[in-house]
């Protein structure tokens, strides 16, 4: 099954899309990667959900990516007498270590590490930023705040700390169990929430040990101060705009999105733009004009993938939301301005064999107007380098490793195919041309670029570029 766009679509599964029939509909509507949010799925149901996707994959004969999203630490208030209280602008409000129910003057904060880390002038945001407190004084087990934006405050509301670096690991005990369950069930990608520093990603990568790729979710302002390090150690990046928009001024989020997207592209790491992309389609069969523009902006910027959350997980029109996102991406990619933007952002190749081969392939594509780059790969690393500069040609990844094909479903412009490794140079070129015809990326008389490594079967040995002509024999044996 050939997609007619290069930008990938990630869809979150949930109550509105948890049946095999609906998951299959979403795949045919355009989903490349399914996200499973462990905040809302019981761990024991994970293998069953993944097996449903794998069944659809076998029937479609096309790799499908699976992203398991770890919940991360959830910071919440304690409880109140009568379940809620009302706090006024300008008043003093205390966060403390006393577990008794709170009132309009104080409340229990069941996270001693927060009380230890808070400093004067740090902001404390409650209930997705609806309430705003500023710390004026701290002592052992107690933080005194001034209410800047008051209102109703109730049991177990979430706490956000935009100015505070917390001495918390990105993984809780629940996350460790979910991570092992996801790896055992065959997840292709693991998303790490609450990333503040590169060490948070390193911890997950150590456990994953290559069994899955690790994606850092950039959702906390603290991560931005070490963004390059986080991108460097991660296999992919997600721009989690929802939480970013809570913990930093909303008007700064678009610029941060561009910074993250370009940083990830520069290092050749897949980047996903997420949250509220078609939010109105939770309850409406059509999006707003602003939402269409938002999705288009992410595509114009060269994001590897755009993601739906509640729209596909809990909305009334999940299939329509996917189809809408698919049409937007297709339309943007037909625009000549799209390619001029991408070309303007091309990074200089690094002094490596993979980048040299990728640069040569791109020059050949541009000079000859070719439609396909056929890349033989084991690990997928060379394919990611080919995709990094966003060539005006599809990158068809030919790999004997099914897990590599599944991971590459997240990458811009990559069409993965699982096939046995090439036996020699002639077999490499012949089967590459055959697959180009079979997958409708070339016709008789066309030329395609073939990228591979000799000797075959050795990861990281890409060292050859060849131009192959598509003949009638290739078509007959496709």
User: Are the CB atoms for 358 and 349 separated by under 8 Å?
Assistant: yes
Residue tagged active-site, from 217, 220, 241, 406:
217
Active site residue 76: yes
User: Which DSSP string do the residues of 89-104 spell out, in sequence order?
Assistant: TT-EEEEES--S-B-S
Can you tell me the distance from the alpha carbon of 294 to that of 164, in angstroms, rounded to the nearest whole number? 30
Residues 324 and 277: their CA atoms lie apart, in Å, by 11
Q: Which residue from 417, 457, 465, 459 is spatially nearest to 2, judged by alpha carbons?
A: 417
> Strand 33-37 vs strand 65-69: parallel, antiparallel, or unpaired?
parallel
Q: Is the dihedral of CA 77, 78, 82, 83 positive or negative?
A: positive
The kind and range of the H/E element at 138 are strand 131-139
Of 408, 341, 331, 394, which Cα lies nearest the Cα of 365?
A: 394
Q: How far apart are CA 89 and CA 149, in angstroms?
A: 5
> Is 371 one of the catalytic residues?
no
- From 54, 74, 76, 371, the catalytic residue: 76
382: annotated active-site residue: no
Inter-residue contact 162 to 135 (CB < 8 Å)? no
Q: Among 35, 132, 220, 406, which one carries the catalytic annotation?
A: 35
Active site residue 145: no
| Distance, CA of 170 to CA of 174 (rounded, Å) | 11
Helices (H), 152-283: 173-185, 198-208, 221-224, 227-233, 241-247, 253-266
C-beta of residue 315 within 8 angstroms of C-beta of residue 285: no
What is residue 32's three-state secondary structure? Answer: coil
Contact 383, 397 (CB under 8 A): yes
**275, 377, 382, 399: which is the annotated catalytic residue?**
275
Catalytic site residues?
35, 76, 217, 275
């Amino acid at each position: 099954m050939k997609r007619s766009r290069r930008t990938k679509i990630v869809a979150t599964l949930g109550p509105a899309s948890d049946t095999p029939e609906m998951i299959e509909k979403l795949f045919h509507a355009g989903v490349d990667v399914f996200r499973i949010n462990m905040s809302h799925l019981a761990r024991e149901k994970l293998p069953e959900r993944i097996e449903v996707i794998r069944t659809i994959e076998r029937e479609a004969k096309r790799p499908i990516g699976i992203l398991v999203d770890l919940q991360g630490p959830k910071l919440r208030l304690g409880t109140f007498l009568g379940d809620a209280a009302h706090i006024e602008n300008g008043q003093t409000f205390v966060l403390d270590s006393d577990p008794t129910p709170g009132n309009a003057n104080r409340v229990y904060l069941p996270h001693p590490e927060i009380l230890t880390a808070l400093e004067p002038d740090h902001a404390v945001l409650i209930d997705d930023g609806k309430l705003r407190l500023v710390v004026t004084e701290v002592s052992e087990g107690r933080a005194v705040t001034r209410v800047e934006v008051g209102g109703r405050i109730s049991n177990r509301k979430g706490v956000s700390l935009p100015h505070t670096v917390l001495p918390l690991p990105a993984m809780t005990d629940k996350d460790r169990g979910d991570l092992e369950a996801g790896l055992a069930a065959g997840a292709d990608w693991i998303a790490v929430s609450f990333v503040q520093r590169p060490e948070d990603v390193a911890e997950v990568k150590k456990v994953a040990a290559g069994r899955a790729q690790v994606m850092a979710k950039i959702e906390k302002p603290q991560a931005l101060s070490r963004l390059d390090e986080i991108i460097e150690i991660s296999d992919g990046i997600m721009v989690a705009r929802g939480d970013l928009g809570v913990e930093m001024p909303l008007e700064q989020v678009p610029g941060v999105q561009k910074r993250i997207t370009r940083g990830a592209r520069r290092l050749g790491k897949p980047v996903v733009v997420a949250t509220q992309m078609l939010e109105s389609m939770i309850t409406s069969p059509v999006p707003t004009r602003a939402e269409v523009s938002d999705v288009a902006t992410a595509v114009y910027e060269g994001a590897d993938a755009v993601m739906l959350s509640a729209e596909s997980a809990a909305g009334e029109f999940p299939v329509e939301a996917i189809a809408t996102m698919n049409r937007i991406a297709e339309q943007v990619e037909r625009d000549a301005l799209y390619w001029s933007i991408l070309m303007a952002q091309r990074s200089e190749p690094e002094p490596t064999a993979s980048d040299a081969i990728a640069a040569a392939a791109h020059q050949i594509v541009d000079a000859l107007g070719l439609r396909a780059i056929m890349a033989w790969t084991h690990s997928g690393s060379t394919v990611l380098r080919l995709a990094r500069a966003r060539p005006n040609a599809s990158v068809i990844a030919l790999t004997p490793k099914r897990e590599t094909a599944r991971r590459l479903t997240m990458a811009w412009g990559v069409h993965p195919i699982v096939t046995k490794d090439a036996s020699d140079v002639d077999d490499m070129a012949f089967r590459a041309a055959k697959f180009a015809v079979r997958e409708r990326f070339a016709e008789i008389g066309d030329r395609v670029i073939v990228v591979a490594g000799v000797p075959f079967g050795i990861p990281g040995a890409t060292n050859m570029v060849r131009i192959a002509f598509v003949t009638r024999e290739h078509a007959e044996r496709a």
